[in-house]
A = this chain, B = another copy of it.
Amino acid sequence: MNLQLTDDGRLRHLLTLDGLPRAIITQILDTAESFMDVGEREVKKVPLLRGKSIFNLFFEPSTRTRTTFEIAAKRLSADVVNLNIATSSQTKGEAILDTVDNLAAMHADMFVVRHSQSGAAHFIARHVAPHISVVNAGDGRHAHPTQGLLDMFTIRRYKGAFHNLTVAIVGDVLHSRVARSQIHALTTLGVPEVRVIGPKTLLPTGVEQMGVKVFHDMEAGLAGCDVVIMLRLQNERMRGALLPSAQEYFKFFGLTLEKLALAKPDAIVMHPGPMNRGVEIASEVADGPQSVILPQVTYGIAVRMAVMAMLAGGTA
């Protein structure tokens, strides 16, 4: 049934947080916790994946995401090979599978896949041999599960538990693969109230069916929140008909100190990066005491190490 799990319920691939059991999510977060000290050591390395071959298979360029996986893999002592593969709109799935089969024949252990089309990582996962794992590093608008997991790790670190939280996700939910991953994870982990805040043009129709409350007024939506997750506004959205201008957007949906004051006093502010300062978030907030945006990056390495170790750590 679930492509992501083995028959006996262990993690087989990481493709999406949708349908990933709570126990597995918790196991990933716990494993990440155990890797938190590696980054602090004099020698930032553990030999867990020594001699494993991990391929960063990027059909869409993303220096930032590639770097986080490369660092995580190197801290686990794996051998990493980066492949930037240009695809055109005519590239058939067949060509992708031939590429994957070739790398598999080189005794690959793991593919970290980034692709502009939704479902690409699933497509590859459905195809690979039993000993190879696939990690989705972002597929179109669909999912970006390691980002969702590091967000959960961040919330757990700062808030201790999930069962008593109100979490708001603010901005371009419509085009965000991050938002979908987050909503799935928050719901699974038992967050009682998840809110999405944004203009009608940037919220998916029927988003309420994912179990979230919808707000078009940011002030109302932020009231009483424990966690505020800001989404990046892609510049290209502002060129089209969806939005009037960056200034206008900031006025209504940019997170300022004033608006943040409506959330709980100990609310934390998160952002998946890279930020558009002055568009979706004010610099005073991004660099302020409630921001946990840089800790998110630190946790992201531990979470990716955890996922890679669970997938390729062998039978041990």
Contacts and interface: CB of A to CB of B under 8 A. Distances in A.
A275 B102 CA distance: 11
A67 B81 contact: yes
Interface in A286-316: 294-298, 300-301, 314
Interface in A255-298: 273-275, 277, 283, 294-298
A189 interface: no
Interface residues of A, number: 48
A251 interface: no
A117 to B, nearest CB: 20
Contact of A45 (B43, B50, B71, B275): B50
Contacts of A300: 106
Contacts of A43: 50-51
Interface string A140-176: 0000000000000000000000000000000000000
A68 interface: yes
Contacts of A98: 273-275
- Which applies to chain A's interface (DSSP): helix, strand, loop or mixed? helix
Contact of A294 (B50, B105, B314): B105
A105 B298 CA distance: 5
Given A71-B53, A294-B105, A297-B105, A94 B277 contact: yes
B67 A83 contact: yes
Nearest to A102: B297
Contacts of A42: 51, 314
A70 B83 CA distance: 11
A66 to B, nearest CB: 9
Nearest to A86: B63
A150 to B, nearest CB: 11
A122 to B, nearest CB: 21
Contacts of A94: 277, 283
28 contacts: A39-B106, A39-B107, A41-B51, A42-B51, A43-B50, A44-B52, A44-B79, A44-B107, A45-B50, A45-B51, A45-B79, A51-B75, A53-B74, A63-B84, A63-B85, A67-B103, A67-B106, A68-B106, A71-B79, A71-B81, A71-B106, A94-B277, A98-B274, A98-B275, A102-B273, A104-B294, A106-B298, A106-B300
Given A64-B102, A105-B295, A107-B301, 9 more contacts: A42-B51, A44-B53, A45-B51, A53-B74, A70-B81, A98-B274, A102-B273, A102-B274, A106-B298
Interface of A: 39-45, 50-53, 63-64, 67-68, 70-71, 74-75, 79, 81, 83-85, 94-95, 98-99, 101-107, 273-275, 277, 283, 294-298, 300-301, 314
The 4 closest A-B pairs by CB, nearest first: A43-B51, A105-B297, A39-B107, A45-B51
